[in-house]
Amino acid sequence: MPVYQSRHQPRRQTIVQGKIDDVERYDRYYDITYDGIQSRVFPGVVLPAGSLVVRVNNPKYDARVIPPGSASKLTNRFSGLRLDGRAGQGALYIGTIAGVLREHAHYSMPGAKKQPDKIWKASSSDATSEFMREQRAGAAVDPNLKFFLYRVSETLQFADLRLTSLASFMKKMLHAGGAQRYGLAPGAVVDFLARASSNPSDYSASRGMADAVFDTRKLSNFAGVCAFSSRADRDSGLVVSAEGDVTGGLIHAVFGADSTAVSELTPVPKSSGNLAFDTFAELRAAVQA
């Protein structure tokens, strides 16, 4: 099968890859998304005005500001350097309470526990579950991190990368001749195509889609992308708790330039003069109040 190269984002060479393991997959998903947005069939999801979202951040900095260097990082799922070395889009990563707890557990667990054994056994201790249980009980977080709660001041539209939405879109794409157009195998499976976007370690599909969303933002008015957190509640890979979060645990990446504030986020402070929540237990109580 010939090598697939993007029609909408051609490049002469690949300089950096970061966590993009498969350049062809990146190009395919970029074009699939680009064409879907152009033809106005790519799924979208609304973050309604009044919604509560959370960000974990160093309290020294404004948690509403897209971090400096975000557009040139190599390790973010939905933002960072392009494959040809150009700076891409920056992003502010926010989420619903369940999504943020899963992401917080993934990135904040002590080093020895951060990567559980690849083969999980029923008799094994569950480091992820235990860490999350401690967080719910009020355990202190890293002293350089705090939880920040925001209310969305105006409705935002996002490209919908949730598996259920992508599966429907991919099915339509294949029925329209997408296998031949994008160099996919004749027997490509819809669920596998959709699931590639949530791979926890290979960002080829998710970055390809996110980059296309950013490049077509003037046509779509998408503020960024929305997806389920791909992190599990347990070492076995199971997700068992939603923290009362009716969304099931979403992550939103709001695109923009480095060091710019997302003005649609209004702080919900812990108390007068104190924006930061010290523990997840405090945060959850405020959300559920």
204-251 pLDDT, tens digit each: 999 999 999 999 999 999 999 999 998 888 888 888 888 889 999 999
Number of Cβ within 10 Å of residue 138's Cβ equals: 13
Cα maximum dimension of the chain: 62
Beta carbons within 8 Å of 94's beta carbon, 6+ residues apart? 53, 54, 55, 100, 150, 251, 252, 254, 265
- Digit-coded pLDDT (tens) for 173-182: 999 999 999 9
The H or E element that residue 111 is part of is helix 111-114
Q: Tell me the C-alpha distance between 179 and 188, whole Å.
A: 7
The helix/strand/coil state of 75 is coil
Instruction: Please give the pLDDT value at position 1.
Output: 45
On the question of pLDDT at 110 being above 80, the answer is: no
Per domain, the residue ranges of the chain are: 41-288
Please write the tens of the pLDDT for every residue from 124-151: 778 889 999 999 999 988 889 999 999 9
Between 115 and 272, whose confidence is greater? 272
Task: State how far the Cα of 227 lies from the Cα of 91, in Å rounded to an integer.
Answer: 14
**Residue 108 Cα to chain centre, angstroms:** 17
Question: Residue 25 has what DSSP assignment?
Answer: H
**Burial classification of residue 288, based on how many CB atoms lie within 10 Å of its CB (0-12 exposed, 13-18 middle, 19 or more buried):** exposed
Cα 81 to chain centroid distance, Å, stands at 16
Beta-carbon contacts of residue 256 (< 8 Å; ≥ 6 apart): 66, 89, 90, 91, 92, 262
Cβ atoms 54, 235 nearer than 8 A = no
User: Can you give the pTM of this predicted structure?
Assistant: 0.93
Q: Distance between CA 149 and CA 197 in Å, rounded?
A: 27
pLDDT-based confidence at residue 112 (cuts at 50, 70, 90): very low
Percent of the chain surpassing pLDDT 70: 95
